[in-house]
Amino acid sequence: MHPRTVVVGAGQAAVALIARLRALDADRRITLVGDEPVLPYQRPPLSKDYLKGELAADGLSLRPRDWFEAQGVELRLGRSAVAIDREAKTLALDDGAAIGYDHLALCLGSEPRRLPAAAGGSLAGVHVLRRMADATALRPALAGASRVLIVGGGYLGLEVAAAVSGAGRAVTVLEAAPRLLHRVAAAPTSDYFRDLHRRHGVRVLEGLGLVALSGPDRVERAILSDGSELAIDLVLVGIGTAPVVDLAARAGLTVEDGIAVDERCRTSDPSILAAGDCTSFPHAGDRIRLESVQNAIAQGETAAATLCGLESPYRPKPWFWSNQYDVRLQIAGLCKGYDATLVRPGKRPGSQSVWYFRKSSLIAVDAMNDPATYMIGRKLVDAGINPHKSDLANLDFSINSLITC
C-alpha cells in the first residue's frame, strides 16, 4: 500500500498542500477532512463581493469537485477531527470513524475572537465573520438592519463597513486603540482609511472601548467606555482571530501561540506537519504567526515538499490585500517592528504609498490605488534592496530605476 497523508482542515493551506503533494507524488493516498459541508473555498471574498451579493457561493470554491476526483483525493467534508492517537497513528472523527495515517497535516486555520456572553456576546444580532455560513447568515440579517455597529477597526471590520454602508444605513466602526489598523499599519495608512470611511458616511470612533451590548434577547444598545450609548440593530465583531490549536494541544504537540512548526512545517511529532493560520514559525530570530492567503499557500507547499523528502525551507515573502469602496490596498512585506515611515503620493488622484523601514532597511510597502508601486515594493523587499528615503521623497525620482539597475 502507498503511504497515506491525511489533511485536516479544508482551507487554502490544505488545497495548496494537496495540489503540490499530488504534483510531486502521483501514488500517495490523500484524504481531506473538513468540518464544513462544502468544498474548500476562498475566505477573502466573504467580507467583500460575497457579502455584497456580487458573488455566488459556488464562485468561492478553490477547486471544483471533479478536480479532487481527478487528483484521487478522498473527501470527508462535514466531519470534525476530535482526537489524534499518535501511538496508533489514527485520527478520530466525530462520526466514530478512525482514519489511519502515515503522515498527518494540520491545516486548521484560525477562529474569530468573540465577545464574552457577560458583555452581550451571545445576544441575537451579534455576528462574527469567518466561515461561509457566517456570511450566509449575515447577508439576510443586514437586510433588516439600519444601524450597524462594527466592533474592531482592523481590515475585516473596515471591509465589512465598506460593503454594508450606504443605502441609508448608519454604520459605526468602534476601535479601542487610538487609531484604526493600529496593529497592522502605521498612522498614515490609518489616516487614509479613516478619511475614506468618513467620506462614505461611516462614523469612525477611535480610542473608545465597548463596555457591553444589551437588549432583551436581540441586541439593541451598545454601551461605550465614555459612558455613551448607541442604539443598534446589528453588530459585527471583528476583533481578531486565534489559531485553532485544541486538537494539537490535546495530542501533546508543542503549541506556542499557534502549533509550533519549524521552517519546513514540521511539528514536534515527525509524522505530523502543520500549515497556515494555525501555526507559529521561526522568522528573523523570532516566532511569528501570519494570517494570510500568501502564508497559507506557501506553508502548504512547503509541507508538501517536506512530505516528499525535499529540503525546501519556508522563507516568507508576505503580501496582502484589502478592497474598500473604490480603493485597492496592496501590501508587500511585513511592517512589524518598523521604526520609520515615508509617504509617497501616487500618480493617480487619491493614490499613495507608505514605506516602512527598520534600521534603514525597507521592510514593507502599503500601496493605495497604486499597483505599480506595490509590485516594485514587492521586488525591493524580496531582494533586500533599500531605497534612500530622500529619493523616495523626491516625486521626480523614478522608483522603477531601483529594480532595473
Q: Which residues contact 388 (CB under 8 A, 6 or more apart)?
A: none
Quote the least distance from Cβ 306 to other proteins, whole Å.
20
Distance CA 109, CA 54 (A): 26
Q: Is 371 a residue that touches other proteins (CB under 8 A)? A: yes
Contact 392, 342 (CB under 8 A): yes
Q: Is 355 a residue that touches other proteins (CB under 8 A)? A: no
- What burial class does residue 390 get, using C-beta atoms within 10 Å of its C-beta: 0-12 exposed, 13-18 middle, 19+ buried? exposed
- For other proteins, which is the closer residue by CB, 267 or 323? 323
How is 347-362 classified by DSSP, letter by letter?
SSTT-EEEEEEETTEE
- For other proteins, which is the closer residue by CB, 90 or 294? 294
Q: Is 375 a residue that touches other proteins (CB under 8 A)? A: yes
Half-sphere exposure of residue 248: CA atoms within 13 angstroms, side-chain side: 32
Strands 98-100 and 147-151, by their bridges, are unpaired
- For other proteins, which is the closer residue by CB, 19 or 104? 19
Binding track over 3-22 against other proteins, x by CB under 8 A: ----------------x---
Distance CA 54, CA 351 (A): 25
Binding track over 291-330 against other proteins, x by CB under 8 A: --xx--x---------------------xxx-x----x-x
Q: Within positions 50 to 79, which residues make up the interface with other proteins, using CB under 8 A? A: 62-64, 67, 70
Quote the least distance from Cβ 201 to other proteins, whole Å.
25
**C-alpha closest to that of 353 among 365, 341, 371, 336:** 365
Query: Within a 10 A sphere around the Cβ of 360, how many other Cβ atoms?
Result: 10
Binding track over 85-124 against other proteins, x by CB under 8 A: ----------------------------------------
Chosen residue from 9, 11, 40, 44 binding other proteins by CB under 8 A: 44
Residue numbers at the binding site for other proteins (CB under 8 A) = 19, 42, 44-45, 62-64, 67, 70, 293-294, 297, 319-321, 323, 328, 330, 348, 370-372, 374-376, 378-379
